[in-house]
Structures are given as C-alpha cells and as structure tokens.
Amino acid sequence: MRPLLLGVLGCSLLLAVQALYSSDDDVVELNPSNFNREVIQSDSLWLVEFYAPWCGHCRNLVPDWKKAATALKGVVKVGAVDADQHKSLGGQYGVRGFPTIKVFGANKNKPEEYQGGRSSQAIVDGALSALRSLVKERLSGGSSGSGYNKQQQSTGGSKKDVVELTDDNFDQMVLEGDEVWMVEFFAPWCGHCKNLEPEWAAAATAVKEQTKGKVRLGAVDATVHQGVSGRYGIRGFPTIKIFRKGEEPEDYQGGRTRADIIERALDLFSDNAPAPELLEILNEDVIKTTCEDSQLCVIAVLPHILDTGAEGRNGYLEVMMKMADKYKKKMWGWLWTEAGAQLELEASLGIGGFGYPAMAAINTRKMKYALLRGSFSETGIHEFLRELSVGRGSTATFGGGAMPKIYSVDAWDGKDGQLPVEEEYDLSDVELDDDLGKEEL
C-alpha cells in the first residue's frame, strides 16, 4: 500500500509541476484545438506566453503573468501555451526559447515579439501600449484583424500556396512527383469545407516554407473532377488523403486546425526526409550556407589523420551520421573539420589544441555555442543534443561576438595520412675533422 501511495503522490506532484496555470486563473490556456478560435479569429488584442513546464524562468513568471491577466481582464486577453507539449504551435510562431511572449494585434498571423520587462506592471504597460497602437491603426482605417479575407491579405496564408488539382494534372503532380502530398477533396457547397478553407490555406503557406516544398497541400473540387475523386472512393466532404510516391494513399485522421495540419505535414516531412548531409568545413561558404538556415549547427573537430588513420576517422564520421539521421526532424546543419585546420574556430569555441575529438553546437543567429562534455559516442552525443533540444544545455557566447575567420583547405581524400618526406642531404663531399670539438685538458 505504501509504494502505491508514494506512486500516486509522485504522479500528483508531477502533474502539479506541469500545470502552471489552471481554469481558476484569468490566464486562458491555449492549445492547437482552441488557438485559432480564441486568438486568430478574435478582434481582441492578445498577449500569449509560450512556456515549458520544466523551465525555471517560466515558473518565475507565473505570479506576474497571472496578476497582469487579472489587471487586464476585459481589456486585453492574456493566454499561455505549453509549447513543450504543443510543439506545433510553438514551431508555427518561431518559438526557440522559453518563455517567449508574443503580441497578437492587428495582424494576427504575424504577431510581434514582446520585448518589455517581466514584472506584472511592465506587462500591463506593454499591453496597453500595444492596445493604443491597435486603436490608432483602426482609426486610420487599418484592418481589425478578423475574417478570412483580411487574414489572407495580411500574408498569414494564401490560396496560391494550395495547389489546384484536376483530373488532368493529378497523376503527373501527385503520383509521379517526389513530394509528399496532403490533398483535400471538397465540394463548393459544403459548410465544413468552407470552414476548413482558411486553415488549409494558412497551413499550405507554412508547410511550403518549413519543408522547402517537400510536402505540398492540394485541393480537388470533387464535384467537377469526378474521375480522380471516384478513383479514391470519395463519399463525404471534406476528405483529406495523404499521398506518398509508390504507396497506397492514407486517410488523414488528424484535427482540422492549421496547427494540426502543419504538425502532421512536418511529421510526414521528417519521416521521408533523408539524413542531413555531413560536410567538411572547406571554406567560409560551407559553414555560412549550412548554418545560416539552421537553428543549430553541430560541428565536430576530429583528430589529425596521422593520429587516427582513415579507419579511425571514418568511425567518428559514422557516429555523426547516425546522430544526424536520429535528429533529422530538427533540420540542423552537420559539419566537421580536422584539428588544426580551423584554428580560429577552435579558439573561439575554447577547444584549441587538445581534447580531440570535440563537438560544439552553435547558433549563428545568437552567436551562442555549447560544448559536448561527455563521450564522443552515440550515447554521449545523444545526451548532449537531447539536453539542448529541450533548452537545458549550458551555453556560452562566441569570443568577439562574431564568427571567426574560416580558412580554405583541401578536402580529405579518404586515405590514411602520410608523414612529410624529409629532405635528404649528400654529405659525401664534406670533410670531417676527427679532432673537431676536442679540447686539451
């Protein structure tokens, strides 16, 4: 009985830690199911906190966030999203750290980052300032931020990113293409289809950007294009099907909000995406193009080829490639260099001269980095990256606050290293004096 009681108590404590806000608070709990209805389609100004239950700064913010919500009740809406549980919502709005506060004002689909203080008074002041700006914009004839057409005009989503599919182009685009497709079969008179339209359009824009066109959203008017609709047995509207090249179509069973659709699309993308390419740092362009488009770049500094040989180096690279595949959903960049090839990079990371192999994860936007402290193994690297991915890793700032100079080097040829050939000298013509260097005592 005692172990059972302790187990129940432990679960209760865990739930208490995770639930930062409750229905008794004036803070509205938001999730993928209610976010669009409560925030996006609302005419109210919203302050939304994206948090993680394990985040110390988030827990410290709770009393001030609640107090501000009570003070702003009836004036400005205050909400909170558990972005650790609802990653799709956090990802949709570019949340990278916790807590992140966004202001959803006139353009609900492009919220502004809240940059003010974290006290209740500062939050209230920031909210009222944003509210004044919203009122001034409305007085000057600006958008109120609600309604599908206005959302479309504010670039939150565009019908042009939903591909119009027909009996004529369906096979070529969907079945023969390399992309993964989510296809909506609709009828113009269908009320549920009309409700889905803005969600589908907004999701199409986000998915196009986040998957670089590898997952696409399309739509078929089943009342016009009855050939393709009949082929897949469409009986009700809207029906959504998932198409992968060479596979039978799959029924989409998820929610109908943009967040639900985006989350499923990103899962499809990661499931079908190849592992990221592991590149050697040969010049500045390699590190620039790889790291600028990634949230993190994982960089390994491997021992000199004379210390490991080709077999040893390939062993390290194999470990990295396995981890790149394991974390491919993150869409990070993966790079490596030989010890001594990029000395300024090593120095800026505090690696220089010893401790190889070494690894760092860098964020070039924030000029921050974290070092692998454990073993250079699948287990050690997994623990390192897992901690970073949930915001628990220890980070430091690049020396000088900028990327160091990257030198152009030759690519590794895949072979064992060779010692440099020493120059030989012919001493046959040199006369040596046997008494040279001798001194009389």
Residues labelled as active-site residues: 55, 58, 190, 193
Q: Which residues contact 253 (CB under 8 A, 6 or more apart)?
A: none
DSSP 8-state secondary structure symbol assigned to residue 106? S
* ω into 99 cis (within 30 of 0): yes
CA distances 229 to 41, 176, 265, Å, are 32, 17, 22
CA distances 19 to 30, 72, 301, Å, are 13, 22, 42
Which of 224, 184, 189, 225 lies closest to 203 in space, CA to CA? Answer: 184
What radius of gyration do the chain's Cα atoms show? Answer: 29
Which of 336, 317, 319 lies closest to 381 in space, CA to CA? Answer: 319
CA–CA distance, 290 with 332 (Å, rounded to integer)? 8
HEC profile of 290-340? HHHCCCCEEEEEECCHHHHHHHHHHHHHHHHHHHHHHCHHHCCEEEEEECC
Which of 376, 382, 371 lies closest to 327 in space, CA to CA? Answer: 382
Q: Which residues contact 326 (CB under 8 A, 6 or more apart)?
A: 382
